[in-house]
Amino acid sequence: MIELFPAAKRFVANHGWLVSGHHFSFADYYDPNNQQFGPLRVFNDDFVAAGRGFGAHPHKEMEIVSIVLKGQLKHQDNTGRSEVIGPGEVQRMTAGTGIVHSEFNPSDVVEVNFLQLWFFPNERGLTPEYEQKAFEISKMKDEFVPLISTNTADLERGAVRIHQDVSLFMTEMDQGVVRTFSQEPGKRIYVYVLEGDITLNSSTQLGRRDAARITGIERLELFAEKDAHVLLIDLP
């Protein structure tokens, strides 16, 4: 089954300095029927104004993935760690037993757009830690590039390790390109179109910022109606 979640129907929180599209219940948005998809608990598409950000706040027992699409995001935490994430970079933070951190836009002029995803870990009580890598966007023209994974083959290709049985891929598709994704029986797929238009299995059309939750389908065909930039998550 392919369940479409159009961008136009997504809850968007507009705080002036922050515009955040919530794929699942989060903060002031609560829907008892939209809590998670497998271990994927939070998926926010955030736009943060120049010089603004999130003050120090705690996290615990969660795998938090940040992907910067435009601009820069600066991260600091109570361990003394400070990192700047730029376009094409991915950071995985294991909150584990607990950590306090802040995130803000270090630019005085440029807005930052980033995705933040939270996954329930497959093990509790982990020591807080990080991993951050930059990926060559040009390689996404040829294939699904693994950004986050626990799969050995994906890790050998340069993916950032996560403490959960999920793999997160990105791809760029020119108009007319067909790309196929296959997975084991009984798993889930989450698709998010960052830019462009695609059709899934010749039946379901997705446009810019549309999402789809897919179950019971082992072979998914993506057709680019227009040039497209797509995020795909393989979930248990």
Q: For residue 79, is pLDDT > 90?
A: no
Q: Please report the DSSP string for the chain in residue order.
A: -EEEE-GGGSEEEE-SSEEEEESS-BTTB--TT-S-BTTEEEEEEEEE-TT-EEEEEEE-S-EEEEEEEES-EEEEETTS-EEEE-TTEEEEEE-TT-EEEEEE---SS--EEEEEEEE--SSSSPPPEEEEEE--GGGGGTS-EEEEES-HHHHHTTPEE-SSS-EEEEEEE-TT-EEEEE--TT-EEEEEEEES-EEETTTEEE-TT-EEEEES-SEEEEEESSSEEEEEEEE-
Per-residue confidence (pLDDT) for residue 50, from 0 to 100 = 97
Yes or no: domain 2-235 corresponds to CATH 2.60.120.10: yes
Domain chopping of the chain, boundaries = 2-235
Band (169; pLDDT cuts 50, 70, 90): very high
Residues of the chain above pLDDT 70, percent:
100
For residue 80, the model assigns a pLDDT of 81
Which pLDDT belongs to residue 140?
Answer: 84
Q: What pLDDT is recorded for position 136?
A: 81
